[in-house]
Amino acid sequence: MRKLLLTGAAGRIGSRLIEDLVDEYELTAVDKDCSSILDWAEKGCTVKECDITRYEECLSFCEGIDTVIHLAGNPSPKATYDEVKEVNIDGTYNMMQAAKDQGCRRFIFASSIHAVKGYLADEQVKTTSQVRPLDVYGVSKAFGEAMGNYFAYQEGLEVIAIRIGGHRSIEMMAERGEQPDMRQKSTYISAKDMNQLIRRCVDAELSRPFEIVHGVSDNTFKFLDLSDTREKVGYKPEDNGFDFE
């Protein structure tokens, strides 16, 4: 079985991803606080605490790993530079360097729609569009994309950066009694589609060492264009944010 390392495993995406990975891969799930995912240790998943701001810990966990799925980070668009620097910037560098130093084959980086959210709501963003962040959180994700490009072309580590849209955003709005607008529907990605996309990124044969792919569902209008993402990794989203009323 291919060995995977999942960082940020206790987060909103990671905690739902474990179930889709644990039966098909030899999975190690790490987070700074693993208390909410400890039950997976009894179901074939290795669960450990890891501080990605410490390079030696990153190096240890990358040993023998085929693919790193790096979800760990400060997820707040309201975060200050100091709040994102240690984890989103330094931590991302630590994980990529550790993956390279341990001979990992592939690194999947959780970028974000926030790296390009400065485009107008009715303007479709391509994977080739220049970054246009609205906040320093988005800047930190643009940094990760650039760092991934460097490690891919200069250090021999395959890297896929996924610009993730609004993960389960509409479901969470419904729980609060709120109605999504056009932009929220166009940036939506369901948990099922998110999990499928990550698994496709793990298994895809790449034609280039670095790729950016887009993480939205099959929304009627997609703020993030999916045409080349489908081609690069075989992504086949099934849900549609515009189906929600």
Query: Residue 137 catalytic?
Result: yes
Helix (H, G, I), strand (E, B) or coil at 125: strand
H or E element: which one contains 94?
A: helix 92-101
Question: CA 42 to CA 82: how far, in whole Å?
Answer: 37
CA distances (Å), origin 182, targets 165, 171, 188, 219 = 14, 15, 10, 10
| CA 167-48-194 angle, 5° bins | 20
* Options 25, 55, 81, 137, the catalytic residue: 137
In the block, tokens 């479709």 appear at 124
From the list 92, 69, 68, the residue with the least C-alpha distance to 142 is 92
H or E element: which one contains 1?
A: none
- Tell me the Cα Rg of the chain: 17
Q: What is the DSSP string of 161-192?
A: EEEE-EETHHHHHHHTT----HHHHHTEE-HH
From the list 61, 142, 64, the residue with the least C-alpha distance to 109 is 142
Which residues are known to be catalytic? 137
